[in-house]
Structure 1
Amino acid sequence: MEGTLRTIISLILCTGMLAFTVTEHATPTDGWRRLSLSALEQRLADVNGTLLELPSLSLRGGAGAIGFRSVSYDEPDNRVWIEIQFGSTELIDQIVLVPTIWRDAKNGFVADGFPRQFDILIGTDEDAVGTVVARIKADDAILPRVAPLVIDLPKPVAGSWIRVDTNVLSRRVWDGRFDLQLAEIIVFSGEENVALHRNVSVSEDAYTTVKSLQKDYLVDGFLPYLMDASEGTQSIAYLCSVESGQECEITFDLKTTFPIDRIHLHGPDISDTVPQSQPAEYGVPRNVKAYGSDSRDFEDAKLLCEFSLATVYDIAPIMVQRFPPFDCRYVRLVASDSARNASEQEDISYIGFAEIELFANGTNVAEGAELEVSGIRQTSGRKLSAVTDGSNFYGSILPTRAWLEGLAKRHDLETLRPQITNELQQRYAQQTANLRRMTWLAVFLVVAIGFTVLLTQMIQMRQLAEIKERFAADLHDELGANLHTIGLLSDLADDAKESPNDLSTFLQRIRSVTERTGVAMRHCTDMQDASELYAGFRTDMQRTAERIAVHIDHDLVVSGETHLNRLKPRIRFDLFLFYKECLVNICRHSGATQLATRLVADASEVKLSISDNGRGLSGSSVNAVPPSLHRRAKLLGADIKVDCPPTGGTCVQLTLRPNRWRFRR
């Protein structure tokens, strides 16, 4: 059983090493693959959780301003620049580039003409060269994208102008040429877009006659996205009707005086059907004037700003105007001329807003303000409070900077998520393959263990049979020879009973043979190596020959006793029993009068030769090995040969190679 356990443990260790080798061979080396499986799964869960909290990237529809498009080239390595003058020195901490979006037939919506490599420089009126504050390289892999590219400046930089200097262009979709296209450039100083409606200059203006592609559209504040926040509740836009030629007035009571410096108008939500039931500009007035005052009757009113929304290129989902701060408690918006659908009645026009935001120091102070409306005909069941509830059709209205940062972060995470997913799929596939291998290895291990147990049982049964065979052989060879010797000595003692001295000698020899028989019996019964037996071959062989071959002349030659004494006790025991069996056979059957024994040993082999001058073998038994000798030679693992020389007698030759590997019985 000890051998069985060793075999099973070896199989288990080999199986484990094989499985470990498979795993190590598939161990990845890149950045993702250095993470553990649990870390990857947690990372994916974090990404998915963050995406649920970010605004969705929803694209606007309808007609409108596209942005700026430069001259096109055959090669990407061309310099194109865009410069925006702020009119005053501003402290800039973030730049946002909004791509021009193209609907590709194969890849869906893509950024068209977005620069692959460019520098962003900021300077002052005294510094015409400027300082590079950001450098985007082609290796940064910012494409493909639809979301805005947000560039944060670790330390705010003061400047009165900004330049986007492109030196590697990207290929535009429709004809494969290279150009620079952008929908909007937003420059933040805190929450303020200081580039809004500022002067724009470009290296070369190629589309001066195309209304939708003008350089001034880079700073009009119009974005190709709908504000689709993940939080908040849906709000239905306010919509009212007025008689043609009349004005609609919406008055805000802010309850306290604020330095108003910015107004956001959110156009009404047209329809949630596809196609839309009304054009995108439906409900947006052609003209909006904003007044501020500290008195309810607006006696000291001041015009804050004016929205001129004459064409579709002047309209967007969110329209923004900045102006110098003005302290006021009341703000009134006067809207007129909004009928934009020919199917409407000629004497009625519709005006509406999803939200109106009034900003002071970067904060919308109009949320929840009291409202009054005048000049309307009917409200169509829409609530005026929707104008200041802080929500649109999709949810909460976010600060512009936070909204764009959310879209950029969504792009980064949605770019990251497939990488994590692919890595996880590879890990799962690897686990499945390893599990399949381990299953086969387990099956192999079970079969191997079963085979090992069966083989062990067979070996044990074989060993038991061999023990029986050896026990029988030992009894036959050792006890048979000793009993034969005792019989001969007894006959001699009987013949010498008249001579007390000879009788005493024979009795002592019988006593000696009996003691040695006892030692041999202990060896036969416990199957242990009797190291005390036959330690001196020459002496023991001489004594044995004198006891067994009493009336036969014996010539004994032994050489290489040093090598003989190095043999294992069992081999010495078996070799000596073989010799004794030969002597017994000679005494019983040959009738020989002379006996010669030659035992020669060296480091590689042992040769034993026993010859006599007896009758020899005759007939079919010529060259046949007696069964008792054959059995003992087999136990020794030696080669045996029996010859009958022409001069008569028999010669038994035994050749033993103790260092040769063989299956020992």
Structure 2
Amino acid sequence: MMALLKTLMMGWITSCPTIVLFFFITAVAIPAEPTPPRPWTTTTLEKKLIAIDGELQLLAHPRLLSGVGPIGYRSEAHDTAGHHEWVEVSFDDEKTINEIILVPSLYNTPDSTVQSDGFPEEFTIWAINDAKGTKRLLASFTTEDQVLPRKSPLSVPCKQAIATGVRLETTSLSQRAWDNRYVLQFSELLVFCGQENVALNSTVSYSSSDNSPEGARNPQFLVDGVVPYVMDANTGTRSTAFYTNVPTDPTSYLDSDTCHIDINLGQPTLINGVGLHATDVSDNVPQAHPNKFGLPRRLRILGANTVDFTDAQPLTEYRLQTEFDAGPILGLQFPPVECQFIRLIILEPDQVLGDTLGCIGLAEIECLSEGKNVAVSSEVTTNLKPELIARRDRLPAITDGNNYYGAILPTRVWLRQLARRHDLETQRPIIRAALTTAYQGQRATLESLFWLSCLLAAIIVAIVFAQRFLKQRTIYRTREQIAADLHDELGANLHAISLCSDLANTKIHDPEQLSPLFQRIRDLAHRSGTAAKSCVNLLESEGLYEGLEADIKRISERLLNDIDYNVHITGEENLTSLDPKTQIGVALFFKECLANVIRHSGATHVSTHLEAKPRTIVLTVSDNGSGIQTENNETAKTSPTSLLRRARLLRGTVVTTDVPEGGTRVTLRTKIRPHWF
């Protein structure tokens, strides 16, 4: 059994590196507790960031409008945010709506950026149907939605609804910049049915209004179609606008005394609106002209199905009265009319300061059919004599679908892209920060794995060296054990045989006493042979050792046959927990002590005391022999090498002293290791 345990122990030591490596890999690969999957892994964050950057390259830029123009609507100012304000846009009849876009009023911050001013923090949007007397909630926003800060429009998609108006009600206002008072303020409120802004030029009602004295703020500016941006679609081809002077001499025109521009749609088409894009002003800062430069101050639009306009019918007429009545894009709506030819009659051209001649400049004329431009690439003509046209080659640019910055997008698409860009640019720093954190975590993990790998390598190297050391120590201790066992067991037996042989020589003429001596010599020889066969492991010998108490008494009886002795044992109950190997070692130590007494001391009396405590065992052997010849008999002396070796094998200590009355005392102390250990 002990041999099996020893074999298993050596096998464990041999496989220890593999076991350590297995547990290390298991500890690293499998957490102690299952962790839920992270919603944003590093790969997901990288893909998300790439997708955001790719989409941003395709979205319109929020290029800001400059110069003089309408700012929008603003309510009265309040000292607290919780004041209730509302604004309502009423249509001329029922409309089907599916999206609302809110355009903020903007201000320049002290750090040279632009932010919304007076945009509400918490508000609701309702669809009003006066015909049915219903009020349906379309959207609701709180501070948790984090719509602020922003400089771009807010797109509010909603379920399709039939309404006669849209109402916005606030529950929490935000502060305006210049005095930190709370107001409700917008640049534009657009309501879409498809691509058409059905709120354009509709009636506006409100809870309160703070109209500016200069006329830049007015509730009606909330639906005038003017937004604080210049269309920069970030796609398409850059195009230079058409521009020319408008002479007052009637002979300058081919067929009438008034300048007009005609567009041939190619076939009769149902249209219900026209969009005029002013000439793209200089990209210098500051600019030389206002944003609406080139737009006629007064114009009339006709529609016809014949090229000579004999069946012409008026579509709409427009007149610029103040500087705040138009922006770079002028949107005009009218009832749907089917026509093939559109004529723009310039009743009063724009005027350049310091110039006596009028002028007209247009980047694009859109003929709209429910918000869609059906005039792209259409033929454009004018009655102005060709030699008087300043930019004759740019006349086709009026319908090429591009402006100075690229493609001209439908208003809904353009503003939705601006809103989408805001959302992505808000998300991007968050994704970037999360990705940076993830990279830092990966770097920390890699560093930890590196140092853990170094630690594991060091442990493996240490285990290899420890394994070699333990193997060498095991070999040495085995050799030492065998040498000690042979010396202590066989040496004592051979010395006893020698003594019995000498005694037999003296009794050679007395057969009755000689026969027991021969039997004793035979028993000692047999025991020595058995011990020699089992010298590698005395535990495997059967009948050689019967227990420490019995062995001490048996050894005393055999070796001290002619010497007076006594044996005193205390704590016998503690000997049962003493492992057999320790019991044999103590017995061999005792046998070596008696052999030394017989060989060297000449003692006539030997006293043995074995004290077994719960945790220690003390063996004391005293004799009245010649003792150790030293200068000071009271001083502890160095024990014989054989006893030191046996004590070391027992992991104990041995002390040899002289007895004052004469003789020697040897004391062995060792700890009790339980049998199971």
Same fold (TM over 0.5): yes
Q: Distance in 2 between matches of 1:472 and 1:317?
A: 111
**Equivalent in the alignment of 1:172:** 176
Q: Which residue of 2 aligns with 1:435?
A: 446
Q: Deviations over 1:363-385 (max 9, x none)?
A: 32211222222215124253322
Counterpart of 1:6, as a letter, is C
- Say which is worse superposed, 158-167 or 528-537, in terms of deviation: 528-537
Instruction: Quote the offset at 1:464 in angstroms.
Output: 4.4
* Structure 2: distance between partners of 1:4 and 1:387: 89
Q: In terms of mean alpha carbon deviation, does 543-552 or 573-582 score higher?
A: 543-552
CA shift, 1:561, in A, is 5.5
Q: Which moved more, 1:217-226 or 1:233-242?
A: 233-242
Query: Per the alignment, do residues 153 and 546 of structure 1 end up closer, same or farther by CA in structure 2, a change over 3 Å counting?
Result: closer
Alignment partner for residue 121 of structure 1, among 106, 109, 126? 126
| CA distance, structure 2, for counterparts of residue 208 and residue 173 of structure 1 | 16
**What is the CA-CA distance between 1:536 and the residue it aligns to?**
3.6
1:651 alignment partner in structure 2: 665
Shift of 1:581: 0.9
The offset of 1:602, in angstroms, is: 5.2
Give the Å deviation of 1:484: 1.0
2:295 is paired with a residue whose SS is coil
1:643 CA drift (Å): 4.8
Residues 595-616 of structure 1: per-residue CA shift (max 9 Å, x gap)? 3333343544333333333333
- Secondary structure of the equivalent of 2:402? coil
**Distance in 1 (alpha carbons) for counterparts of 2:163 and 2:406:** 36
Q: Is the 8 A contact 1:305 1:323 kept in 2?
A: yes
Q: Is the 8 A contact 1:530 1:569 kept in 2?
A: no
Q: 1:636 to 1:362 in 2, by over 3 A?
A: same
2:645 pairs with 1:631? yes
**Counterpart-to-counterpart distance in 2, 1:620 and 1:477:** 30
How far residue 204 of structure 1 moved from its aligned partner, in angstroms, is 2.5
Following the alignment from structure 1 to structure 2, what is the Cα–Cα distance between the partners of residues 631 and 165? 99
Change (3 A) 1:409 1:528: farther
Q: Equivalents in 2 of 1:650, 1:296: separation in Å?
A: 144
Q: What CA distance in whole angstroms lies between the structure 2 residues aligned with 1:361 and 1:643?
A: 121
Q: State the Cα distance separating 1:66 from its structure 2 match.
A: 1.0
* 8 A contact 1:482–1:517 mirrored in 2: yes
CA distance in 2, matches of 1:41, 1:365: 41
Equivalent in 197, 209, 215 of residue 211 of structure 1 = 215
Contact 1:59–1:224 (CA under 8 A) maintained in structure 2: yes
How many angstroms apart in 2 are the aligned matches of 1:564 and 1:133?
91
Read off the aligned partner of 2:172 and give its amino acid letter: V
**Which of 197, 201, 224 is equivalent to 2:228?**
224
Deviation at 1:453, TM superposition (A): 4.0
Deviation at 1:286, TM superposition (A): 1.9
| 2:148 matches 1:143 | yes
Distance 1:386 1:650 in 2: 127
Deviates more, 1:612-621 or 1:161-170: 612-621
1:27-176 correspondence to structure 2 within 5 Å:
34-106=39-111, 108-126=113-131, 130-154=135-159, 156-176=160-180
User: Secondary structure at the residue paired with 2:407?
Assistant: coil
Matched, 1:6 2:19: no
* 8 Å Cα contact 2:363-2:397 kept in structure 1: yes
**Cα deviation 1:229-271 (Å, max 9, x = unaligned):** 2332222222233324664322122222112111111122223
Percent identity of paired positions between Structure 1 and Structure 2: 38
**Equivalences for 1:236-315 in 2 at 5 Å?**
236-244=240-248, 247-276=258-287, 278-315=289-326
Q: Which moved more, 1:442-451 or 1:401-410?
A: 442-451
- Equivalent residues of 2:299, 2:348 under 8 A apart: no
Change in 2 beyond 3 A, CA 1:382/1:593: same
Cα distance change of structure 1 residues 83 and 540 upon mapping to structure 2, 3 Å threshold? closer
Q: Report the AA paired with residue 588 of structure 2.
A: L
Q: How does 1:495-574 map onto structure 2 within 5 Å? A: 495-499=506-510, 502-524=513-535, 526=536, 529-530=539-540, 532=542, 533-558=544-569, 563-564=574-575, 566-574=577-585
Q: Are the counterparts in 2 of residues 15 and 441 from structure 1 also a CA contact under 8 Å?
A: no
User: The residue matched to 1:209 in structure 2 has which SS?
Assistant: coil
Residue identity opposite 2:645 in structure 1: R
Aligned residue pairs total: 653
- The alpha carbon displacement at 1:67 in A equals 0.9
Task: Say whether 1:373 aligns with 2:382.
Answer: yes
Hey, what's the Cα distance between the residues in 1 that align with 2:408 and 2:538?
A: 96
Q: TM-score w.r.t. structure 1 length?
A: 0.89
The answer on whether the counterparts of 1:484 and 1:548 sit within 8 Å (CA) in structure 2 is no
Amino acid of the structure 2 residue aligned with 1:145: R
Distance 1:7 1:624 in 2: 46
Q: Which runs of 5+ in 1 are unaligned?
A: none
The 1-side partners of 2:121 and 2:423 are apart by: 17
| Equivalent residue, structure 2, for 1:410 | 421
Specify whether residues 374 and 310 from structure 1 end up closer, same or farther in structure 2 by C-alpha distance, changes over 3 A only.
farther
C-alpha contact (below 8 Å) 1:293/1:328 kept by paired residues = yes
Structure 2: how far apart are the matches of 1:336 and 1:117?
Answer: 47
Is residue 199 from structure 1 mapped to residue 203 from structure 2 by the alignment?
A: yes
The corresponding residue for 1:611 is 622
Q: Is the contact between residue 239 and residue 382 of structure 1 (CA under 8 Å) also seen in structure 2?
A: no
Residue pair 2:210, 2:217 contacting (<8 A) in 1 also: no
Cα 1:107–1:169 change in 2 (3 A) is farther
Q: What CA deviation, in whole Å up to 9, does each residue of 1:49-103 have, x standing for no partner?
A: 2222222222122221111122212222222222222122222222221111111
The answer for the alignment partner of 2:342 in structure 1 is 331
TM-score by length of 2: 0.87
Kindly state the Cα deviation for residue 33 of structure 1 after the two structures are TM-superposed. Answer: 6.0
Amino acid at match of 2:649: L
Instruction: Point out the more displaced range, 316-325 or 73-82.
Output: 73-82
Distance in 1, Cα, partners of 2:325 & 2:299: 12
70-79 vs 575-584, greater mean Cα deviation: 70-79
CA pair 656-62 structure 1, distance change in 2 beyond 3 A: same
Of the three residues 330, 352, 365, the one matched with 1:356 is 365
**Following TM superposition, by how much is the alpha carbon of 1:658 offset from its aligned partner in structure 2, in angstroms?**
0.8
**Residue in 1 that maps onto 2:253:** none
Query: Which amino acid is 2:87 matched to?
Result: I
Kindly provide the amino acid, as one letter, of the partner of residue 99 in structure 1. P
Distance in 2, matches of 1:556 and 1:80, equals 111
**For residue 152 of structure 2, what is the amino acid of its counterpart?**
A
Kept after mapping to 2: 8 A contact 1:586/1:592: yes
Q: What CA distance in whole angstroms lies between the structure 2 residues aligned with 1:418 and 1:315? A: 37
8 Å contact 2:639–2:655 — kept in the other structure? Answer: no
What is the alpha-carbon distance in structure 1 between the residues aligned to residue 549 and residue 290 of structure 2?
125
Equivalent residues in 2 for 1:337-348, closer than 5 Å: 337-342=348-353, 344=355, 346-347=356-357
- Give 3-state SS (helix, strand or coil) of 1:324's partner: strand
Backbone CA RMSD of aligned residues: 3.2
Could you tell me how far apart the structure 2 residues matched to 1:586 and 1:336 are?
144
Answer yes or no: is the 8 Å Cα contact 2:607–2:622 preserved in 1. Answer: yes
The AA in structure 2 aligned to 1:578 is F
Alpha-carbon distance in structure 2 between the residues aligned to 1:94 and 1:597: 108
Cα deviation for residue 312 of structure 1 reads 3.2
Residues 278 and 33 (structure 1 numbering): CA distance in 2 closer, same or farther, change over 3 Å?
Answer: farther
Contact 2:578 2:673 in 1 (8 A): no
1:162 to partner: Cα distance: 2.5
- Contact 1:239/1:353 (8 A) holds in 2: yes
